[in-house]
Structure 1
Amino acid sequence: MARAIQLAERGRLTTDPNPRVGCVLVRDGEIVGEGWHRRAGEPHAERFALVTAAERARGATAYVTLEPCCHHGRTPPCTDGLIAAGVARVVCAMVDPNPLVAGQGLAQLREAGIETETGLMEAEARALNPGFVKRMEQGRPYVRCKLAASLDGRTAMASGESKWISSEAARRDVQRLRARSSAIMTGIGTVLADDPSLNVRLDPSQLTGMDAEDPVRQPLRVVVDTFWRMPPMARMLALPGETLVAGAEHLPERAAALEAAGAQVVVCPRHLGRVDLPALMETLAQRAINEVLLETGPTLAGAAVSAGLVDEIILYLAPHLMGQSAQGLFDLPLVEAMADRVALDILDVRRVGPDLRISARPCLE
């Protein structure tokens, strides 16, 4: 199963919106076939493994990171392929949370006389697809909030100047985060101040896990813009890929101007005078968005944390000080007591060039 998980990782940047899946076929203690899902619309991991194994698949055990599918989508059911190949046993790390599968694939295999087992390295398998799992189980994408700050927790000077806080190595690391994301989200304040591109600017050879011939997939760009202040001449609207502007105020002329400039628009409910962020996340999930990378200023970042939408914070801490007049990381409701703090669970700390990269999970009830 560990090998199947390694194979699944190869699809980290290309399978979206499908889950990353790996499969290994073993017979008489020897690997006879293996495969991984590359991109939506292409054969699933099990199908690739069966092709490489050919007749040696008969009587083999299939180790799969996710329950084999049993429904017709863009590709035929993997359960049919495993049954036809004469596989004797299927071990899957986790049951597929997709309601179209959800145990039915394993049931179909058992009805065909194939022994099944689940739960082997389940935690590692779930970690492969945090966004797909959350979208299927909770109807929302997995949200990472990326921030860069000085050692004293400042993200920009009082004037708004922020280039560059983090190092080139950290910025390249962010490009890899973008490449694995389904969408990159920011607020209108960031757009008006910086006119960002919010795109992936590394080529396949620079992105770990991609073959040279793999095209770089540009994530959906999402701008939270309650009053439709997005300029039709914004840089991102002229770049490859799609941009979605989410507003809440009824201003059809402004929305129409953005559509004419190439943006998609969506009207969201309002909460406290702004775009209702939970409603927006549900809308993104309905569009098959698995993982959202939130790259924004303290207002939207604080609102997302306060709403319980942020699953992971990735903070690049640069070795310099910017002083008390510079802008902070999060605009959060007034915290007057220690008990009101937002607790974090530190997941990982590592060096990226001269900077520290800290990954943490908010401990919100």
Structure 2
Amino acid sequence: MNDMFYMKKALQLAVKGKLTTDPNPNVGCIIVKDGLIVGKGWHKKQGDSHAEIIALKMAGDLAHGSTVYLTLEPCNHYGNTPPCCPQLLISKIKKIVIATIDPNPEVSGKGITFLKKNGILVSYGILEKEAQNINQRFFKRMITGLPWLQLKLGISIDGRIALHNGDSKWITSHESRKDVHNFRSQNQAILSTSISIIRDNPSLNIRYINTNPKNNIKKYQQPIRIIIDSKNRIKPNHPTIKINTGDIWLIRLYKDNQKWPNHVKQIVSLESNKQINLLQLFLLLRKKNINSIWIEAGGTLSGALIEQNLIDELILYISPKILGQTAKPMFILQKMFKINQIKQFYFAQVNKLHTDIRIILKKNKTYNISFTQYK
């Protein structure tokens, strides 16, 4: 067996934590001795043991002289759990194969340096791109200071999101609406606007995950519900506020003095022309350890996000219905007069969902870890 074989096994373990590890990365570990797997582990959630610690406990004394396959560089600092590098040293492993260096400045390169200085053979770069891709949200936050942003829109075949009077229930099929919950479950937060909240009274939570009927919804983290409310339109008695399935953050230019439930927080963000500055908002959310945000909003916010190049993935649910030219467009954009001014995405995936089509578009043709960095 070769390094790539065992690293693939470690990656398969890592993805098991994709719904529960935020804001931490997904990490898997395999320990091999004399051609046999003697230990394996994966990180389940923040505060729990890291993948390599779980694998070392399983291996016990068999870890002595073994080779460890780890999808992400081990930490050598105290966080919510003790550092992993000293435990690897105590276990007397012979070699460690690492898929990718950790982009977290507190970790990056320091774990590898520690292990090398203490006589452990270290190699890295095996299936590096695959390891980065399963943690693309974590990598983006660490490198750029911005969360991974997915914008979802349910549209008619002529690109409209609601009739001229705002009626939009339901453009897309029941199967499409169920599918949305799978995406919601993969994000730390769901973002919308006060206008959408007042118009539609959405719950903005996870109510079912249809990838596996046996899944228990209670074991998944409910996303933080973030509402941009620059004019303080949302009141404590609003139906969405009364649904207490987790935290709600009201993003405002100033706080009010009303009595809010304990699960609601008012957060003041920087303004731009008496509106929330979107870039500064997402930088603020990064500081709150938000890796990824699922966005459900109307044409105004959607258009602003597209124009500011903030969206990483665009998720379109397209219904074979026609709403006509008086209906509301999915993007409200400034006028453009040259083709080279237009915004472009790339088709990543197309699926049929009952009567609808789901299209996933990405900003980049292929995933590229060299993000633009924001201060």
Partner residue of 1:289? 290
| Residues 1:302 and 2:306 are matched in the alignment | no
Q: C-alpha separation between the residues in 2 aligned to 1:213 and 1:358?
A: 26
| Residues 1:222 and 2:226 are matched in the alignment | yes
Partner residue of 1:336? 337
Aligned pair count reads 359
Larger deviation, residues 335-344 vs 88-97:
335-344
Q: C-alpha separation between the residues in 1 aligned to 2:65 and 2:309?
A: 48
Q: C-alpha separation between the residues in 2 aligned to 1:109 and 1:307?
A: 42
Q: C-alpha separation between the residues in 1 aligned to 2:18 and 2:213?
A: 7
Question: TM-score, normalised on structure 1?
Answer: 0.93
Runs of 4+ in 1 over 6 A off after TM superposition: none
Q: C-alpha separation between the residues in 2 aligned to 1:318 and 1:74?
A: 45
Letter in 1 for 2:249: L
Partner residue of 2:156? 150
Q: C-alpha separation between the residues in 2 aligned to 1:260 and 1:147?
A: 30
Letter in 2 for 1:217: Q
Question: TM-score, normalised on structure 2?
Answer: 0.90
| Residues 1:167 and 2:173 are matched in the alignment | yes
Q: Any idea what the Cα deviations from partners look like across 1:198-238, whole Å, max 9, x if unmatched?
A: 001116xx565997596221111111111111122122322
* Aligned residue among 236, 241, 245 for 1:237: 241
Q: C-alpha separation between the residues in 1 aligned to 2:322 and 2:342?
A: 23
1:2 partner SS? helix
Letter in 1 for 2:38: V
Do the aligned partners of 1:182 and 1:290 also contact (CA within 8 Å) in 2?
yes
Q: C-alpha separation between the residues in 1 aligned to 2:48 and 2:330?
A: 41
Partner residue of 2:276? 275
Q: C-alpha separation between the residues in 2 aligned to 1:70 and 1:174?
A: 38
Letter in 1 for 2:234: M
How do residues 69-218 of structure 1 correspond to structure 2 at under 5 angstroms? 69-202=75-208, 206=210, 212=216, 215-218=219-222
Specify whether residues 120 and 178 from structure 1 end up closer, same or farther in structure 2 by C-alpha distance, changes over 3 A only.
same
How do residues 1-80 of structure 1 correspond to structure 2 at under 5 angstroms? 1-80=7-86
Letter in 2 for 1:297: G
1:177 partner SS? helix
Q: Any idea what the Cα deviations from partners look like across 1:163-188, whole Å, max 9, x if unmatched?
A: 12222222122101111111100011
Give how far 1:45 is off.
Answer: 0.6
Q: Any idea what the Cα deviations from partners look like across 1:287-321, whole Å, max 9, x if unmatched?
A: 11000111111111111111221111111112222
1:325 partner SS? coil
RMSD of equivalent CA atoms? 2.1
